Amino acid sequence: MLVVTTNDIQGYRIVRHLGLVRGLTVRSRSVVGNLGAAVQIFFGGNISVYTKLAEHARQEAFDLLVEHAQSMGANAVIGMRYDANEIAAAVTEVLAYGSAVVVEPVSGGQTAETGGPWTSGGAVR
């Protein structure tokens, strides 16, 4: 699965648009996590407890986005974005969204098959 933030993929041609896809997760901070963060806040700097929570939530939303796109028959997602909102005290939603598409390599271009930069392991996250 190719996932990019751009509206096209170099070396590929979009042959079909399948529509909007999304991955949504809602996360809360635990009491233990809040206590650990409070200690980090006291000393200043990066609040690693919250950084890990945010990264985990974004990864989960991304994975759900990819699952949604695959279930529609897509082999790529273009225009991928994240959005996050606080929906209640200590409760945050993270949304990953984009356009599901079917792409095919353009002859002579650099693609995943020819060693180009757009391999599924190099997906934009």
Domain ranges, ordered by start, for the chain: 2-27+60-116
List C-alpha distances in Å: 59 to 21, 55, 63, 90, 105: 15, 6, 6, 19, 27
For residue 28, report the phi and psi dihedrals to the nearest 5 degrees. Answer: -125, 155
Q: So what's the pLDDT on residue 121?
A: 46
| pLDDT digits 0-9 by tens, 43-101 | 666 667 778 888 999 999 999 999 999 999 999 999 999 999 988 877 889 999 999 99
Q: 2-27+60-116, superfamily in CATH?
A: Hypothetical protein apc22750. Chain B (3.30.110.70)
Name which of 24, 22, 114, 116 is nearest 77 in CA terms: 22
Answer whether residue 9 shows pLDDT above 60. yes
Q: So what's the pLDDT on residue 47?
A: 65
Task: Name the residue with higher pLDDT: 120 or 48.
Answer: 48
